[in-house]
Amino acid sequence: MGDRIRIDKYLSEMNMGTRSEIRELIRRGRVSINGIPCRKPDEKVDTDSDTVSLDGQKINYEKYVYLMLNKPAGVVSATTDNREKTVIDLIKDSGRKDIFPVGRLDKDTEGLLILTNDGRLAHNLLSPKKEVDKVYYAKVKGRVTEQDVNVFLSGISIGENEPCLPARLEILVSGDISEVNLTIQEGKFHQVKRMFEAVGKKVIYLKRISMGGLRLDPGLKPGDYRRLTKDEIEYLKNIT
């Protein structure tokens, strides 16, 4: 047995139009439940066992949707924004209208962003208590040193009440422009940028490459997204 919900809510969740458009679809007899045209927007359907069709096409109801987006620079990690393009604007066919980004990447940050409507999984992935690793690749202006590695590992202060949790810094290139991978388990505001500022350096490029061991699919160009596989969803649920 699935949930029993109103047909207009069902269609709205499945992104079939605005409330008034949906009412119109129902009024015109274009929606059927188990083959019988439905005329009442408050009719209840079982999300598992009932078959709902629009113009004879079966709708596949999904309670939860999980997407992996390679966030491009220039879009904000929000569901709506008056001025800026959001990550949700990039998603054309999620099948659900209630998806949101799991945490935030800055407007100029790229990389792995999970989008879902599963609030529980999102909460778990973001809770510092769950110690989920978030790995960032960064280009940093200034020479990153072993001393920075040690400071980050001991828990650097970035001007908040509590210092950051220990973070693993791997130096890939140390030079005028350094390249690093940094693993953190929190998501404080501008955290990576502020950690480097605290050691007198500036992040000039930032990309999240993995979350909870789930790596950004190298086949996804910035702005591309795909559904997570069943295994990936199970994996994320198991680590939290």
Q: Which residues are catalytic?
A: 106
Question: Does residue 191 touch ligand URA according to CB under 6 A?
Answer: yes
Q: CA nearest 54: which of 92, 93, 28?
A: 28
Cβ 197 to ligand URA, closest distance in Å? Answer: 9
Nearest to 164, CA basis, from 187, 135, 197: 187
Q: Is 87 in the site for ligand URA (CB under 6 A)?
A: no
Q: Quick one: which segment of 39-47, 92-100, 103-111, 123-131 binds ligand URA (CB under 6 A)?
A: 103-111
Site for ligand URA in 205-224 (CB under 6 A): 206
Binders of ligand URA among 10-69, rule CB under 6 A? none
Nearest CA to 77 out of 120, 49, 106 is that of 106
How big is the CA angle at 19 (ends 17 and 21), to the nearest 5 degrees?
A: 55
- Judged by CB under 6 A, the residue of 94, 109, 116, 117 near ligand URA is 109
Told to check if 227 binds ligand URA by CB under 6 A, we report no
Q: Which residues 124-153 are close enough to bind ligand URA by CB under 6 A?
A: none
Torsion angles phi and psi, residue 69, rounded to 5: -115, 140
Spatial separation of the C-alpha atoms in residues 129 and 125, rounded to whole Å: 10
Q: Are 77 and 87 in contact (CB under 8 A)?
A: yes
| The only residue of 7, 115, 192, 228 in contact with ligand URA, by rule CB under 6 A | 192
Query: Which of 6, 190, 227, 237: binder of ligand URA (CB under 6 A)?
Result: 190
| 36-37 and 44-46 beta bridge pairing | unpaired
> By the criterion CB under 6 A, which residues form the site for ligand URA?
105-106, 109, 190-193, 206
